[in-house]
Structure 1
Amino acid sequence: MGEHYFAGRPQARSRPGTVDLVLPDLHFRLATDRGMFSPDRVDLGTRVLLDSVPPPPPEGDLLDLGCGYGPIALTMAARSPQAIVWGVDVNERALECGRGNAQAAGLDNVRFGLEQDVPAATRFAAIWSNPPIRIGKPALHALLDTWLSRLVPGGRAHLVVQKNLGSDSLQRRLESRGWPTERLTSRAGYRVLAVTNPEKDTP
């Protein structure tokens, strides 16, 4: 089996490239490379997510979980310039591309890094993610449990998942774990799930 995009240090020989992310309000030319997720084009699921989500909170800490080379994180950062956006991934080559893309876009409110680079006390006003479904259900569930628990009370996560890769079963699983989850949209074989932290702010 070939190397997975979720390898920490990809062994595939470097072959730099670029892709364009064109949204109604933004246009980024993004550097990519081999050994990372969707290096030849912005993944359709990512596009569905970015076309569907409401604006991110204007302030606070925001998270792109499984950020790759950064299309989601950079969109969050551009739409919420007063927020701090964390792009988290295990793939160090992708993270390096993300840092370069943020610099090229003039966005200094993005931090790309590994899980351990995010301070443990950080809580997120929003999480946007095209999660790495292919790591397998146990690993995926553990990943989502870890990060959803760091949403602020009332904070929301938006996840895009292919229908044929288990979006509906994931929605049921999240709800069974106490995370109210609704289907925001369904398009091109993808579902966008909105997950809310049901906790209330304490006075």
Structure 2
Amino acid sequence: MNRLTTPWGELALTRFPEDPRDQLRAWDAADDYLLRHLADEGTDLSGSLVVLGDRWGALTTALAGHGPVQLTDSYLGRRATEANLARTGTDTSAVALRTVRDEPPDRIDVLLIRVPKSLALLEDQLHRLAPAIHPGTVVVGTGMVDEIHTSTLRLFERIVGPTRTSLAVRKARLIFCTPDPALPRSPSPWPLRYALPDGIGAMADRTVTNHAGVFCADRLDIGTRFFLGTLPAPRGPVDVIDLGCGNGVVGTAVAVASPGASVTFADESYSAVASARETYHDNVPDGAGRAAFVVGDGLAGLPDDSADLVLCNPPFHSHRATTDTTARRMFGDARRVLRPGGELWVVGNRHLGYHVRLRRIFGGCETVAGHPKFVVLRAVAPAPASPANRGPRTGTR
């Protein structure tokens, strides 16, 4: 557990889920810089305060006494905020925890923005929040120096108003934006919809939807494209999970190819699950009763032995950090929810060495397909000792 000393007290903060082995902090110099700036400048926080993109709740927790509205795309970030508020004894009802898919506030007097990795998400949110910003609104962004680019400032200037930046402190920087009411108001260009290419199996020439911030906003990435060309073809009424579903193209491909399949789309991003829902319903118009959409911590809410097939393209970044923590937890979740004989199919960069982790969790794995950069791996949940309870009807091509 890390402690952040702020003008509003010392805070014990953790990420979510809390893992004693995880040495990554729940805050960084950018969070610290912004909080100190607000105190040093005596910023009036008595009005409507909105915090956008607070990664693990450091800003929201520090400013909880001012009744902030937190807007986040991350379920894990929201849970971290709840845990950190509880740890400090704060009444969580004093803080409004909302997602970026919710309706924004009608009025914003102070807008604090932790600059996201995704410029698309920043663009979408600035468009959505701009109508609530008035000439007196205090708008301050924060991020590490290598997270703030000319393109970042241009977004603020095009949608909200002119900017200036602070000096760098501990490799962090602040963005000060002055609202310009004369700027033309326009709707957000998100979500994007685009047609998929030929040669990728069941989803060839079909359309996907990407809300802002979801991986590969305007084109199919090569890893997913490779995965789509190798997917298994389930037979009969099988239960499939698209874990870390993103825009839902993988799970939808199975639903299109296998009309008897029921698919659960799971992701920790609210925008990803919204994208998957639209992608699925656009391509499987008669499949409303055969799909579920879950925003959560991996598969934590799903029962044991409930799936026949799990498909996964794990992320290997947690904000700025490269880590296999998320993949490791995804593989463990898959092992728990798979019925005996059920299969986990994973695509990943070769250098990540997922086969080692899968062998530890499942007792073995095999390579389904190889690519100079990517590999598709298959792991099977151990079969029961008794033949009376046989495995699923997953099947492969």
- TM-score, reference length from structure 1: 0.85
Residue 174 (structure 1) aligned with residue 358 (structure 2): yes
Question: Rg larger in 1 or in 2?
Answer: 2
Amino acid at match of 1:19: Y
Indicate the residue corresponding to 1:7 in structure 2: 74
The equivalent position to 2:192 in structure 1, one of 6, 13, 17, is 17
In the alignment, the residues of structure 2 paired with residue 55 and residue 24 of structure 1 have an alpha-carbon distance, to the nearest angstrom, of 11
- 8 A Cα contact 2:192 2:210, kept in partner: yes
Question: In the superposition, relative to structure 1, how do residues 38 and 121 fare at CA in structure 2: closer, same or farther (>3 Å)?
Answer: same
- Aligned pairs for 1:109-124 within 5 A: 109-115=290-296, 119-121=302-304, 123-124=306-307
CA offset digits 1:58-114 (Å, max 9, x no partner): 322101000011100111111121121001001111211211222222132222212
Indicate the larger mover: 16-25 or 103-112: 16-25
- Aligned pairs for 1:1-203 within 5 A: 7-8=74-75, 9=99, 12-14=122-124, 15-22=190-197, 23-26=200-203, 27-105=205-283, 106=285, 107-108=287-288, 109-115=290-296, 119-121=302-304, 123-135=306-318, 136-164=323-351, 166=352, 169-200=353-384, 202=386, 203=388
In the alignment, the residues of structure 2 paired with residue 196 and residue 93 of structure 1 have an alpha-carbon distance, to the nearest angstrom, of 31
- 8 A Cα contact 2:273 2:294, kept in partner: yes
Q: Which runs of 5+ in 2 are unaligned?
A: 1-29, 31-52, 56-72, 76-98, 101-120, 125-189, 389-397
In the alignment, the residues of structure 1 paired with residue 346 and residue 216 of structure 2 have an alpha-carbon distance, to the nearest angstrom, of 17
Amino acid at match of 1:7: S
In the alignment, the residues of structure 2 paired with residue 201 and residue 114 of structure 1 have an alpha-carbon distance, to the nearest angstrom, of 35
Superposition deviation, residue 201 in structure 1? 6.6
- 8 A Cα contact 2:341 2:380, kept in partner: yes
- 8 A Cα contact 1:86 1:110, kept in partner: yes
- TM-score, reference length from structure 2: 0.46
In the alignment, the residues of structure 2 paired with residue 95 and residue 177 of structure 1 have an alpha-carbon distance, to the nearest angstrom, of 27
Indicate the residue corresponding to 2:46 in structure 1: none
Superposition deviation, residue 117 in structure 1? 8.8
Q: For this pair of structures, how many residues does the alignment match?
A: 198
Q: Which runs of 5+ in 1 are unaligned?
A: none
Which structure has more relative contact order (CA 8 Å, sep 6+)? It is 1
Question: In the superposition, relative to structure 1, how do residues 113 and 24 fare at CA in structure 2: closer, same or farther (>3 Å)?
Answer: same
In the alignment, the residues of structure 1 paired with residue 336 and residue 201 of structure 2 have an alpha-carbon distance, to the nearest angstrom, of 32
Superposed CA RMSD:
2.5
Superposition deviation, residue 195 in structure 1? 0.8
Residue identity over aligned pairs, in percent, reads: 22
Indicate the larger mover: 88-97 or 119-128: 119-128
- 8 A Cα contact 1:20 1:42, kept in partner: no
